[in-house]
């Protein structure tokens, strides 16, 4: 039975969260009906898990191919997107093929966008192997590639057929990548669930030591929150925008520094603190609360300020191109209190300059 279901009518799909799920062929094959499967992975993840997944699919009689791309955010481009499409055409892959995204957020976003576009849409499933992708990017159907002028600016909403989350893959995840994922975890507590934020504070050591029970509980709660939000607002017309807490500032950091210099979660961490500080300036969040969340982020070795070299003008030029901009007005996700956030459209450039300088 699935751990959770993302309820989207005929596009609903299951999320399976279980330690060792990649060793269970029954789970793996339960939602993959296609006879031809193409696995998209990268040069870091493929040596760890690709053979295991391939063998289970081959043993079930499926035709299996794999496409390997280089690791890193710098590969999330139109050029890589075109290369993957070209390989699918060369196989060839037909409309009844299924893609598997085996990797982190970059692989998931890239594979999902390819699936959305190839022959006007084919099936894909997510097997996220990083914490960030397990708690955030693999769920909800956001797919995209980056452009030099903006992150995730070219993409589509396209839901997977299933998501398989194996918490044991986090044992091979390096410390920096694990920390980056914790930024998105902490985000859920700030915007939606104050009790979950308190639980994170009380279970920091269990999480850092990657205890299976703690990880499973943490990941399941994050996915549960995201599934609830996506079910209500699949295409981000309102409520779903709250999931972008810290991202407006964070995307500016990533674009200005060059994609891959700062990991996405690191940029989001610094961005969340800036959003909290802005909320404090506007009288909603206390300095003590800003400090408490900053301390939690630092406990997971996450940055709580942006690059020293970035000035207000550096942030603002990128934020003007943010996807939340409406009628030429920048909009920000700001907490009104811990556990509740709002989309705010009346932040002035003077306020931003005061905050950022």
Residues annotated as catalytic (active site), given as ranges: 120, 142, 184, 226, 236, 240, 244, 247, 251, 264
State both tokens at 72: 């890193």
* C-beta separation of 215 from 207 below 8 A: yes
Structure tokens at 196: 């979950």
* Cα distance between residue 192 and residue 190, in whole Å: 6
In degrees rounded to 5, what are phi and psi of residue 292?
Answer: -65, -45
Q: Compute the half-sphere exposure of residue 251: CA atoms within 13 Å on the CB side of its CA.
A: 22
Give DSSP secondary structure letters for 167-213: GGGGGGS-HHHHHHHHHHHHHHHHHH-HHHHHHHHHTHHHHHTT-HH
- Residues whose CB falls within 8 Å of the CB of residue 62, separated by 6 or more in sequence, listed in order: 32, 34, 35, 36, 37
CB of 188 closer than 8 Å to CB of 222? yes
Helices of type H across the chain: 25-30, 51-59, 78-90, 105-117, 131-132, 175-192, 194-202, 204-208, 212-232, 247-257, 264-281, 287-299, 312-319, 349-356
Whether residue 354 is preceded by a cis peptide bond, meaning omega within 30 degrees of 0, is no
């Amino acid at each position: 039975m699935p751990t959770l279901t993302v309820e989207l009518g005929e596009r609903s799909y299951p999320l399976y969260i279980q330690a060792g799920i990649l060793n269970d062929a029954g789970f793996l094959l339960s939602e993959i009906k296609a006879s031809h499967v193409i696995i998209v992975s990268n040069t870091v993840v493929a040596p760890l898990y690709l053979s295991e997944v391939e063998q289970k699919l081959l043993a079930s009689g499926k035709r299996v191919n794999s496409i390997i791309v280089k690791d890193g955010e710098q590969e999330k481009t139109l050029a890589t997107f075109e290369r993957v499409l070209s390989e699918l055409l060369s196989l060839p892959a037909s409309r009844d093929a299924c893609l598997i995204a085996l990797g982190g957020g970059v692989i998931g976003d890239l594979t999902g966008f390819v699936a959305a576009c190839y022959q006007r849409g084919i099936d894909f499933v997510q097997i996220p192997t990083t914490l960030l992708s397990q708690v955030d990017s693999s769920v909800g159907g956001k797919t995209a590639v980056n452009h030099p002028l903006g992150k995730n600016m070219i993409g589509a909403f396209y839901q997977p057929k299933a998501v398989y989350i194996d918490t044991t893959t986090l044992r091979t995840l390096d410390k920096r990548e694990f920390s980056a994922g914790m930024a998105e975890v902490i985000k859920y507590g700030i915007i939606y669930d104050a009790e979950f934020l308190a639980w994170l504070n009380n279970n920091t050591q269990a999480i850092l030591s990657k205890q299976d029970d703690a990880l499973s509980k943490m990941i399941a709660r994050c996915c549960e929150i995201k599934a609830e939000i996506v079910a209500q607002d699949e295409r981000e017309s309102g409520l779903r925008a709250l999931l972008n807490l810290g991202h407006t500032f964070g995307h500016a950091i990533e674009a200005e520094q060059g994609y891959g210099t700062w990991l996405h979660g690191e940029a989001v961490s610094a961005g969340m603190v800036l959003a909290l500080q802005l909320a404090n300036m506007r009288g909603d969040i206390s300095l003590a609360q800003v400090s408490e969340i900053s301390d939690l982020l630092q406990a997971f070795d996450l940055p709580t300020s942006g690059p020293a070299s970035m000035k207000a003008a550096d942030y603002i030029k990128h934020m003007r191109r943010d996807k939340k901009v409406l009628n030429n007005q920048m909009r920000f996700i700001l907490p009104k209190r811990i556990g509740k956030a709002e989309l705010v459209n009346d932040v002035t450039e003077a306020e931003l300059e005061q905050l950022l300088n």
